[in-house]
Structure 1
């Protein structure tokens, strides 16, 4: 179904939907709705920010999707559907996009305008904002984005402008057919300029925030919980069923599981490592495992002043080979994850998995090659520091991997765990030899993974740099067959041991059986509280 047809269908069913809700039944399924329309879920860590332009991680993204709505959003299958934009057209060979905004309001009653997007996007690119995701604006190929991020041009020169209050025009330097999909990510959400400028860093506090999403932030207690409640100003508020969403921060996965079973909340993710099979048997209507577009890996610190032994690709290759991924996936995690020998997730749309040589070896063959390479390098008595954020499963994996390195290669590893914000800062500043890392797709296309390892990428915390790799990723932007470049890029990652890939995610979670509307088929795990509902028992 095309975008305009979808909009017509949405308009035609709006009256019926509202009437059904008033009668206490779901407008599509006819299910009887519970009088208790709340949803409570567990977070592992406190998100560092709810500022869309400063966010860089997944927990904050889940909240921001409820509070701020971008031009496009996603349905339960991950397909693009209208958000603030009722429709759009691509022209000039996919280098010009024109978005037509719907009539919508900010939570204070102000109209949402095209200028709100211009302000937000310029703000994201502006070096003065110091956005950790400024690279994302550059990645969109908007005209002058690269120069603005580099501080060489004024933010006002960014290739986006408001033709009028409801029309936004975007100019790209090269064809990018998936640009509309990129607008679903937090960085390109609009923000309310007057509020940002009035309150500065405190504009995201519950008492100050002005937002345009389906929910308003109503409470925030750091490292404990936050609440977001239905926004009556949201353009489609009449069809939003969940009235209140609460996020509870519980660092211990074991404690979280106990509290879930006690009925304290409705959604638990991730599950404690290795417990999915037992939970699936115990709670068959509540335990789920679905693909998730995230890849788990260890980043090597390749800065010039980092540990010299790590600069030797033979040492990195040996460490990578010695990790027995089958043990981690099948004996530790047990949740349907895939052993990873490359970076891009195995379920990435349209991605052609390359032939990585060590993927086809037995573990015994990998171990033998790892020992040979380590001996060839001449490195002995290697002692590494591996950092990870506080999580029982991260600790388990790090402990097992460090034992593998010790037993097979004689490498000693010091493990250091940190709370989330500290870990992000330490990783960004390069105070590590190896860092537990994961990358989750910002959109469903292989470049979202592979761009990460380009030299100038803002989240390339290991600082891998390879001119041929950079050239391939640049060429992929204008290629009719980018998979050819992606395959070569993956080969360079493997040949250089740029990272140590460990596994491709499956999303294992528990969800209360009376919560419906969960997007099981959205491989990016992008869920919106507005699409959920609780049925009557």
Structure 2
């Protein structure tokens, strides 16, 4: 049974007539992106938009189907050793790069070593370590040569991975863009310029033909792709449109096949365009980081203050009055949609908002802040987006009304925002995390003190130990429950809500993976209805 929230109706057929006809005529798929991705090099990608692009240009060992199940990609199959520590992937004969060179097992060896190599400065190098690959930690730390990473190619069609810990979800992890192959023969020749149109050689269903910074990226069908005969869409276009309302206008004018629904507009759009407005569960959490570094604000070091700010946020108001598209209030970091995860009970989740507000006031006063104590000023950092602004405004008003806290809002364009957040130049910063694979560790590992995306700089040795133990536990749920309870008590982050994916989709586009909670899509699987 599908989880699509799409009702059939006739209202929108005329409105999207031009868009549908245009798509059918030139066999293209055009979608909106909020920001320019910092990189489309698989080894350097750190954002969802970059991954969406890379998934069209490159292909990893395994892909996902419309339900999120692992299916063959470059690898036709794999074997796992009895102890679960060795994975052997068998590559297909017909896989070639867009320049006609064969995709070899050595390409994967090179790519994974490159991602782990500290000289590459991959923001996702930690993911290679997370995969429990032999010597990954030492390679990333620069203690041993990348050639010591536990991957090998005994021949051109066999790729072998050696793990230090059995990970039952390891096959899911190799659908992530960081594990995609990159062409050593091109990178060696061209260096950083290899990602430019005309230079980029890729192995996916599409090849890069145009990239205009802050404007658009275009990819065209790769005739060399092993499954090209089953690809229907000729061209994929990503248009960068910062304003979500402008994007909606362009969608309704037929210029886009997909765009996000502006915050708060889903109820009206779903009524007016019932066959195009979509809201489906998504494996993502929207949250705020506190800056727990020594250079951060002094008040952020106090767990009672952090709890007070979190308690004072009325999550029901956020999802019902601001967002209005089926989002779920978040009281744990990990979404309930995560495979095999049982949402644990945390005390503040069962309280009424009035009870939360009373506790928040008591905690803040007890810490010496608030109306009867030291004034508290908080800056909320977020990347430019009307939706992010509306949430920040709502949260700041809740803090003001309940706790008497003064807030300032600071918005930055995406790349600058990432740098500032990563460098710890904030009080509170907006964040969103979407699962890299469908298992609770993809969320909770962000609470590890060594995680590259622990932007709060949270350190708890007990949590670190439990996260490590969970990787070898037969049933890690008990450990996940304990970690969530600790996070709810110490509150290094403020979970606000669990996403739904809310967008407008041209009804002529068939094959969107509505039931894949990770939202991973492959345009090669789309078709156009007449």
Question: Could you give the per-residue CA deviations for residues 230-279 of structure 1, whole angstroms, max 9, x where no partner exists?
Answer: 0000000010000001011110111111111111110012x111110111
Which ranges of structure 1 fall in alignment gaps of 5 or more residues? Answer: 1-32
Structure 2 distance, partners of 1:392, 1:96, is 47
Matches within 5 A, 1:287-366: 287-366=277-356
Structure 1 position 451 matched with structure 2 position 442? no
Matched with 1:370 is: 360
Q: CA deviation at 1:346?
A: 1.5
Structure 1 distance, partners of 2:265, 2:333, is 26
Matched with 1:142 is: 133
Matched with 1:19 is: none
Structure 1 distance, partners of 2:214, 2:159, is 38
Runs of 4+ with deviation above 2 angstroms: 33-36
Matched position secondary structure for 2:333: coil
Structure 2 distance, partners of 1:211, 1:313, is 48
Matched with 1:74 is: 64
Structure 1 position 434 matched with structure 2 position 428? yes
Q: CA deviation at 1:204?
A: 0.6
Question: Could you give the per-residue CA deviations for residues 310-353 of structure 1, whole angstroms, max 9, x where no partner exists?
Answer: 10000000000000000100001010100000100111011011
Q: Tell me, yes or no, if the aligned pair for 1:34 and 1:534 is still in contact at 8 Å.
A: yes
Matches within 5 A, 1:110-259: 110-259=101-250
Q: CA deviation at 1:36?
A: 3.3
Q: Tell me, yes or no, if the aligned pair for 1:302 and 1:462 is still in contact at 8 Å.
A: yes
Matched with 2:410 is: 416
Structure 2 distance, partners of 1:496, 1:205, is 45
Structure 1 distance, partners of 2:386, 2:352, is 29
Q: Tell me, yes or no, if the aligned pair for 1:101 and 1:114 is still in contact at 8 Å.
A: yes
Q: CA deviation at 1:463?
A: 0.4
**Residue among 364, 378, 387 paired with 1:384:** 378
Structure 2 distance, partners of 1:498, 1:95, is 34
Structure 2 distance, partners of 1:334, 1:34, is 32
Structure 1 distance, partners of 2:179, 2:57, is 13
Matched position secondary structure for 2:195: coil
Matched with 2:419 is: 425
Matched position secondary structure for 2:159: strand
Matched position secondary structure for 1:129: coil
Question: Could you give the per-residue CA deviations for residues 272-304 of structure 1, whole angstroms, max 9, x where no partner exists?
Answer: 111101111100110110001000000000012
Matched with 1:506 is: 500
Structure 1 position 474 matched with structure 2 position 471? no
Q: State the TM-score, normalized to the length of structure 1.
A: 0.93
Matched with 1:528 is: 522
Structure 1 distance, partners of 2:335, 2:190, is 40
**Residue among 246, 265, 269 paired with 1:275:** 265
Question: Could you give the per-residue CA deviations for residues 347-392 of structure 1, whole angstroms, max 9, x where no partner exists?
Answer: 1011011001101000000000000000000122111111000110
Q: Tell me, yes or no, if the aligned pair for 1:36 and 1:534 is still in contact at 8 Å.
A: no
Q: CA deviation at 1:227?
A: 0.5
Matched with 1:11 is: none
Matched with 2:12 is: none
Structure 2 distance, partners of 1:34, 1:42, is 18
Q: Aligned pair count?
A: 503
Q: CA deviation at 1:35?
A: 4.5
Q: CA deviation at 1:34?
A: 4.0
Structure 2 distance, partners of 1:292, 1:200, is 37
Matched with 1:519 is: 513
Question: Could you give the per-residue CA deviations for residues 388-439 of structure 1, whole angstroms, max 9, x where no partner exists?
Answer: 0011010000011011111111111111001111110110000001000010
Matched with 2:80 is: 90
Name the stretch that deviates more: 500-509 or 198-207.
198-207
CA-atom RMSD in angstroms: 0.9
**Residue among 54, 66, 69 paired with 2:44:** 54
Matched position secondary structure for 1:127: coil
Matched position secondary structure for 2:26: coil
